[in-house]
Amino acid sequence: MRRVSTDMPNNDMQFFLRRQEEGLSDIQNKIAGQKKMLVPRDDPLAASHAVRYESYLARLERFEKNTLYAKEHYNEVDAYLRQANDILQRIRELSVQGANGTYTKEDLGFMAVEINELLKELVSIANSTGSDGKQLFAGDKAFTEPFRVVEGAVQGGGGSSEQIPMVASVEYRGAGSARRAEITDRAYSELDIGGGEAFWAEKMQVFSGIDAADYRAESAGGFFIDGQEIAVSPGDTVYAIAAKINDSAAPVKAYIDPENRGLVLEGTNAHLIRAEDRQGSRVLQDLGIITFNSDPAAPNWHPGARVAGGSLFDMVIRLRDALFRADQDFVGSQGIGGMDLAMANLQSRLALNGSRQERAESAWERLNTEIPNVTEALGRENSLDFADAAVELGMMQFAHRAALQTASKILPATLLDFLR
């Protein structure tokens, strides 16, 4: 049997009043936070849906930022490549003029001086920095100036017989295009076009000077061709290695020279071939393709290897030197031909960058359609209906006031009531 004491009504009334105040505080906090769920137990099913929506929305917003960065990057690359193409067009016009046989040697020298200045501007474009402070054409070596100018003397430079320092060669010290941006879930877009791709002219060839007919790999190892890893197993011959290169995704084909039986690498398009042995392996060194080089940015071809295939800058230098020599036959044949090769490769890279621009633009538009839809779905699960909340708050406030008034009439008087 429950014992009825004098403080029992007071305790019961306080218990129910505290519970009512807790509910009133809860609805007030929901209105302040604009959420219908403060803790998952308020609506477990809606809470699970909201967590998934919030996670998906966070990924979409990250992808949207990535695509926006990619769009800006592609726009910058496009602008600089178009400037380089315009300069090449001007150089080609000068080469056509210099090949028609109506100009004197002094006139041809003046053309060569102009081409030398345009060459410097081409190097400046190739060393351009993006708005984020990173080199546009250095690949994943984003803070390394990709092209280095080596100055020298050209006989007849400046239109006279005196030696005048000019651009003698341009060396590439960057890396391949390795940076990517995730624009959708597990889908990536390549960001960079390396300087060894954009500013090249001829298909590159590397002829080893070592007879590799009896070569056998002594241990497991590997190497990289244009960033693609080629694994080598013990006992692999040079023919097996050439086959593995041809089966890889690298834009390089390999074959064996029938005369000296050495390995030959040839690019399938105009670009600088990048070759590197895997750490702890020396397959390409043993085959006479590369040599050990402590400076990873410097050319690492084996001293006995024969390398062919020049860059855009090599084509311009050859044309300039031919104009200084007044060699109009060379200008009209190999000079103009070199310019055509350089322009064809540059335009193909412009087309590649344009296709990436279109993809990034399409992804950005799709994300900006999907983000509002997911936000709306999240709102349905998590957002508070202010009309219902206001009605509920008013009812709870009225009930609370009524409970306080009733309690003040039915609770027994205390000593404090007599002291007032």
Least confident range from 97-101, 177-181, 290-294: namely 290-294
For the segment 342-353, the average pLDDT, to the nearest whole number, is 95
Assign 3-state DSSP to the chain and report helix, strand, coil percentages, each to 5: 55, 15, 30
Mean pLDDT of the chain, nearest integer: 84
Q: What is the pLDDT of residues 66-84, one digit of tens each?
A: 999 999 999 999 999 999 9
Chain region(s) in the chain for CATH 3.30.70: 203-308
Chain region(s) in the chain for CATH 1.20.1330.10: 53-175+311-370
53-175+311-370 CATH fold: f41 fragment of flagellin, N-terminal domain (1.20.1330)
pLDDT of res. 401 = 76
Q: Examine the pLDDT at 295 and tell me if it is beyond 60.
A: no
Kindly give the interhelix angle for 336-382 and 312-325, rounded to the nearest 10 degrees.
150
d(CA 285, CA 300): 10
φ, ψ for residue 165, nearest 5 deg? -60, 130
Q: What is the pLDDT of residues 103-125, one digit of tens each?
A: 899 999 999 999 999 999 999 99
Q: Which residues of 206-229 are buried (b: 16+ CB within 10 A; e: fewer)?
A: bbbebebeebebeeebbbbbbbee
Q: 139: left (phi > 0), else alpha (psi -120 to 50), else beta?
A: left
pLDDT of res. 33 = 61
pLDDT of res. 15 = 72
pLDDT of res. 159 = 46
Alpha helices in 195-279 (DSSP H): 195-198, 238-247
For the segment 154-176, the average pLDDT, to the nearest whole number, is 71
For the segment 309-331, the average pLDDT, to the nearest whole number, is 93
* Structure tokens, 315: 């084509």
| pLDDT tier, 5 (very low <50, low <70, confident <90, very high otherwise) | low
pLDDT of res. 160 = 46
For the segment 335-347, the average pLDDT, to the nearest whole number, is 95
User: CA separation (Å) from 116 to 91, 99, 195, 344?
Assistant: 10, 17, 20, 21
Cβ partners under 8 Å of residue 39, min gap 6: none
203-308 CATH fold: Alpha-Beta Plaits (3.30.70)
| pLDDT tier, 395 (very low <50, low <70, confident <90, very high otherwise) | confident
pLDDT of res. 418 = 55
Q: What is the pLDDT of residues 18-66, one digit of tens each?
A: 777 666 676 666 666 666 665 555 566 666 777 787 888 999 999 999 9
* Structure tokens, 55: 């996670």
User: Percentage of the chain with pLDDT > 70?
Assistant: 78
pLDDT of res. 161 = 40
